[in-house]
Amino acid sequence: MTEAEEKRRQFVKTWAGPSGFPGWFAVVNNQPLGKRFMITAFIFFTLGGIQALLMRVQLGVSDNTFLGPQVYNQLFTMHGSTMMYLFAVPFLEGLALYLIPLMIGSRDVAFPRLTSFSYWTYLFGGIIFYASFLAGPVPDAGWFAYTPLSGPRYSGQGVDFWLLGLTLVEIAGLTAGVEIVVTLLKFRASGMALNRMPLFAWAILITGVMILFAFTTLLVATVLLELDRALGTRIFDTEFGGSSLLWQHLFWFFGHPEVYIIFIPATGIVSMIVAVSARRPMAAYILVAVSLLLTGFLSFGLWVHHMYTTGLPELSKSFFTAASLMIGVASGIQVFAWISTLWGTRPRFEVPLLFVLGFLFLFVLGGITGVMVAVVPFDWQVHDTFFIVAHFHYVLIGGVLFPIFAGLHFWLPKITGRMLNHTLGLWSFWLTFIGFNVTFFPMHIMGFLGLPRRVYTYPPELQLDGYNLAATVGSFILGMGFVVFVVNLVVSGRKGDKAGNNPWQADTLEWSVESPPTMYSFRQPPIVHGRNPLWSGDGPVRQNALALQAQAALTDAPHNWRATLSTDPMHAEPQSIQLLAGPSYKPAFAAVGIVAAAVGVLLQAYLLALMGIVFAVGAVLSWLWPDQKLLNIIRTSGLDQAAGLPIFTTGAKSTAWWGMICLLGISFMAFGALFYSYFYIRLFSAEWPQGNLPRPDLEWSAVIYALLPASAGAFFWAQRSFMHGARTAILIGLSGSILLALAHGILLCVELIRLPFTPQANAYASLFYIINWVLLLYVGTGFLMLVAALMRVRKEHADRTGHMALQMQVTALFWHFTAGAAVFVYAVLYLSPYLI
């Protein structure tokens, strides 16, 4: 065996996942984890579908007793929650995690171990959701869990299963969001500038950013509600100054963007399939990308249109009506772009395109009813009727599930290496399309005729049996469409025709590698010269010497550690070689720790919850701790010289820096949601602080809170000293920063213990404590980061431009943010009661 062959063999071995059953828990590669996300999501989808069929059987005839009201409530809760939280978002995240690195020419995602952690957290969250069926109390408050129905007074432990399971799924969603955003910004192939990104990649990038903001709000809301339930806080308890409407605001600030979080990737899928089917580039590329951006952005300004009947001022509602109507314009741009792309061509009428055409028809119908319900007087008439059920199923099944099926028929040949059977595909499409319309179209009429949703039966006098029976029959036809798809998947997966690299003659990079792709995806990093890299005629080619040098150096290399090319976010010019983490059990252990904490809260075994958190933190610290042996191998590899690029980078060149920026974005949103809750409760309270509680002490608390900016200042000095190599000054600065942080933490805890009220006193008291607790959580995390930095800097202070410098920089970002947050917390909790 020659040296080159030996290196190639080692390269393949380095990228191969660990073998055997135990190795299954250590895999961190994007491809197997992406597939696991998709398969797990489809299992949950099947469960949600069965629940839907059971509900349709119940509603098939009037006065039916097949299901009782309690079971019906549980089924519609679990059906909606499953489809929204356990299927749609995780499935699309899985598809993105699998496809995006292939599509942009990367060997993996930015933080492979985070992907593993995300998957396990998602799986355990889903299991907690469904464990409620075994434990007894199944969630029954709807997928929206409105308070006070979901509060401690009117619901049982089922809602705790719902909240804790959902919290885990949210953490999984957020981590996957960070993964997607950083991967798309940093790992695009040389030359794949922003204006050359595939539209699916654009859609996923926008979705990733939306996830960071939307899921954080839901995370805050679910934690607040669980605190109301488990610790007796009063945030949503109107009797103690709380607000049940606040839950709706927080929930829908997540809930409306959530619809677009699943719709935008779906439109990305459609854009890819339309262009390939028409065999020409997508029309109005810039307009479509901008419309994705517009849709994503505007979706955060529409949440109130779910609350038109809650008694908000007329003027408020009118703003949200206007914004709701405008989002139709953004979606309309895409619809016209798809039609324009297909116009005048002779497209290939394969199954993916059929599903796309089905999507176009159904989504336009769902969009039109969406514009109707954006208008306040119309919404008042049909609110909480089956018209709304019809509308959102047209949007969600027509607008999301059809593109998902289209995407699966399109990309499964790449994933499995075999083509799906065309005839079975046709059967699957027509059964799904006909079944869907027979099920959901009559619901528009039933809604107009006054049939309320979420009610387990209806009297025969309403004369709706015919429509309902048709809907029930349709739902089974729809279900058969799904069964045929699964049969097709199984049969074709074993005996289907070999797909080859590019069965559709498509244009994007994933079609340039073998089917199924190897674990490393690309032997050498690709270079892109146009928007449609596999199609000719992309315009002038500009050779980039640095990209060519990096490409040559990274061919089958490095052979004993995982790495990919990292580029700049805007121009996709080569910036560095990025080390990627290898297999590890630690992410799975961290997820186990978090699930133990959730189960501890569920069982009110708080010692178990505490142990779970400690275990999870330990696993994360161990996972993040740098492997000195590996770092030495990298330092002596000479790859940086060969590629002309650094391996250890800092600032915006580093993925860790971008990861921290995403975390700070999430943190910004979390504090924002808490401050919003505080001022919302304040706005509607006649007295403040509520219940004649004393206003907080200004002077002593000012001293406590000033300690954090002082600590941040000391760290700033330490960081500057680090850059100048002044060892003593670094140690003094870091030690000072740690001591000041510790002093703040201890004094704040003492201050909270000395308060003359408890968190259970009223909503003001609850928020006062909770916001301080969240700050303490950040201080604790920052404290650990500072201590870790001190421990490393004592050994490696000379490494001013390498890995250590990055750690100092990331710690600085987090710690300065925490100090800034402390200033805001002080202003909100301590100063504002004296001012407003």
Partner 1 sequence: MAKAFPVPSPVSRGKLWFGFSGGAVAWTFHLMAAYLIAEFGCFSGWHTVVFAGVTAVSWSLLAISVLSMAAAAAAIWISWKARDRLCSGAAPAEQPGSEIYMARAGLFASGSFLFVIMVQTIPIFFFLGDC
Interacting residues with partner 1 (CB under 8 A): 193-196, 286-287, 289-290, 293-294, 297-298, 300-301, 304, 312-316, 318-323, 325-326, 329-330, 539-540, 542, 544-546, 548-549, 570-571, 573-574, 644, 683-684
User: Residue 309 or residue 318: which is nearer to partner 1 going by CB?
Assistant: 318
Nearest by Cα to 131 from 157, 102, 97: 157
* Alpha-helical regions (H) of 449-518: 465-495
Which residues neighbour 154 within 8 Å (Cβ) at sequence distance 6 or greater?
148
User: Residue 606 or residue 684: which is nearer to partner 1 going by CB?
Assistant: 684
Least distance from partner 1 to the Cβ atom of residue 552, Å: 11
User: Residue 548 or residue 611: which is nearer to partner 1 going by CB?
Assistant: 548
Least distance from partner 1 to the Cβ atom of residue 550, Å: 9
Least distance from partner 1 to the Cβ atom of residue 318, Å: 3
Quote the crossing angle between the two packed helices 314-342 and 285-298, to the nearest 10°.
160
Least distance from partner 1 to the Cβ atom of residue 159, Å: 29
The two three-digit tokens of residue 519, written as one number: 């674990």
Helix (H, G, I), strand (E, B) or coil at 579: strand
Least distance from partner 1 to the Cβ atom of residue 626, Å: 27
The two three-digit tokens of residue 86, written as one number: 């356990």
- With residue 565 as reference, give the H or E element that holds it: strand 562-567
Least distance from partner 1 to the Cβ atom of residue 121, Å: 31
User: Residue 157 or residue 524: which is nearer to partner 1 going by CB?
Assistant: 524
Least distance from partner 1 to the Cβ atom of residue 382, Å: 22
The answer to whether 577 and 643 are in contact (CB under 8 A) is: yes
Least distance from partner 1 to the Cβ atom of residue 303, Å: 10
Least distance from partner 1 to the Cβ atom of residue 213, Å: 11
Least distance from partner 1 to the Cβ atom of residue 320, Å: 8
* Residue bearing tokens 């890995």: 803
User: Residue 556 or residue 568: which is nearer to partner 1 going by CB?
Assistant: 568
Which residues neighbour 740 within 8 Å (Cβ) at sequence distance 6 or greater?
707, 708, 710, 711, 714
User: Residue 22 or residue 539: which is nearer to partner 1 going by CB?
Assistant: 539
User: Residue 28 or residue 192: which is nearer to partner 1 going by CB?
Assistant: 192
User: Residue 236 or residue 303: which is nearer to partner 1 going by CB?
Assistant: 303
Nearest by Cα to 804 from 751, 707, 725: 725
- Phi then psi for residue 531, to 5 deg, are -75, -25
User: Residue 548 or residue 599: which is nearer to partner 1 going by CB?
Assistant: 548
Distance (Å, whole) CA 102 – CA 58:
45
User: Residue 571 or residue 800: which is nearer to partner 1 going by CB?
Assistant: 571
Which residues neighbour 170 within 8 Å (Cβ) at sequence distance 6 or greater?
215, 218, 219, 222
The answer to whether 626 and 648 are in contact (CB under 8 A) is: no
User: Residue 217 or residue 772: which is nearer to partner 1 going by CB?
Assistant: 217
Helix (H, G, I), strand (E, B) or coil at 569: coil
DSSP string, 508-561: SGGGGS-SSPPTTS-SS--B--SSSTTSS--------HHHHHHHHHTTT--SSS
User: Residue 12 or residue 290: which is nearer to partner 1 going by CB?
Assistant: 290
Least distance from partner 1 to the Cβ atom of residue 827, Å: 17
Nearest by Cα to 212 from 171, 252, 184: 171
Which residues neighbour 578 within 8 Å (Cβ) at sequence distance 6 or greater?
110, 186, 187, 563, 564, 565, 566, 655
Nearest by Cα to 178 from 197, 204, 196, 200: 204
CA separation, residue 754 to residues 411, 722, 741 (Å):
61, 40, 20
Which residues neighbour 745 within 8 Å (Cβ) at sequence distance 6 or greater?
776, 779, 780, 783
Distance (Å, whole) CA 532 – CA 515:
20
Least distance from partner 1 to the Cβ atom of residue 327, Å: 9
CA separation, residue 514 to residues 28, 493, 820 (Å):
21, 16, 50
Least distance from partner 1 to the Cβ atom of residue 248, Å: 14
Ramachandran sector of residue 524 (left: φ over 0; alpha: ψ -120 to 50; beta: rest): beta
Helix (H, G, I), strand (E, B) or coil at 500: coil
Least distance from partner 1 to the Cβ atom of residue 570, Å: 5
Least distance from partner 1 to the Cβ atom of residue 45, Å: 34
Q: SS in 3 state form for 612-645?
A: HHHHHHHHHHHHHCCCHHHHHHHHCCCHHHHHCC
User: Residue 296 or residue 517: which is nearer to partner 1 going by CB?
Assistant: 296
User: Residue 159 or residue 330: which is nearer to partner 1 going by CB?
Assistant: 330
* Alpha-helical regions (H) of 279-394: 285-298, 314-342, 351-373, 376-382, 386-393
Least distance from partner 1 to the Cβ atom of residue 496, Å: 40
User: Residue 311 or residue 459: which is nearer to partner 1 going by CB?
Assistant: 311
Distance (Å, whole) CA 825 – CA 773:
11
User: Residue 304 or residue 825: which is nearer to partner 1 going by CB?
Assistant: 304
The two three-digit tokens of residue 74, written as one number: 């549980």
Least distance from partner 1 to the Cβ atom of residue 547, Å: 8
User: Residue 298 or residue 397: which is nearer to partner 1 going by CB?
Assistant: 298
Distance (Å, whole) CA 559 – CA 553:
11
